[in-house]
Amino acid sequence: MSDPIGYRRWAIAEGHLPVDGDGHEMACLLNATGDEANVQITLFFSDRDPVGPYRLAVPARRTMRLRFDDLDDPEPVPRDTDYASIIESDVPIVVQHTRVGREADMSTIAYAGD
């Protein structure tokens, strides 16, 4: 692709992992470029300091489905706690947020800004 698709910074303003483990939050990351995407995620909370960065790599011309409950370094994502996330990459990527749960499934494109 000569004209890369995506942005380097994305925001998901809403996230919540249920305490009983019945459901999860995901970010689907698309790297359509010819270079590996080095991604950092920072979580924000209403009542405590941010946590991060969580670091991961998305290979060139690949997609990755990231479950927030799989993040554990620098610390696990707390359950039964509202959070938001900023996802930053060194190459343009596309981010889609998905919630899978007992009551409803939903998916939306994250907010993008460079």
Q: Looking at the predicted structure, is the pLDDT value of residue 13 above 60?
A: yes
Judge whether 78 lies within some domain: yes
Judge whether 71 lies within some domain: yes
Nearest-angstrom CA–CA distance, 34 and 12: 25
Residue 94 belongs to what domain range? 7-112
Q: How high is the pLDDT of residue 99?
A: 83
How many structural domains compose the chain? 1
Whole-model pTM: value is 0.89
Percent of the chain with pLDDT over 90: 71
Judge whether 36 lies within some domain: yes
**What band does 56 get if pLDDT is binned at 50, 70 and 90?**
very high
Q: Looking at the predicted structure, is the pLDDT value of residue 61 above 80?
A: yes
| Omega within 30 of 0 (cis) for the link into 59 | no
What would the mean pLDDT of 83-92 be, rounded to a whole number?
Answer: 97
**What band does 102 get if pLDDT is binned at 50, 70 and 90?**
low
Nearest-angstrom CA–CA distance, 37 and 99: 23
Residue 55 sits in a domain whose CATH number is 2.60.290.11
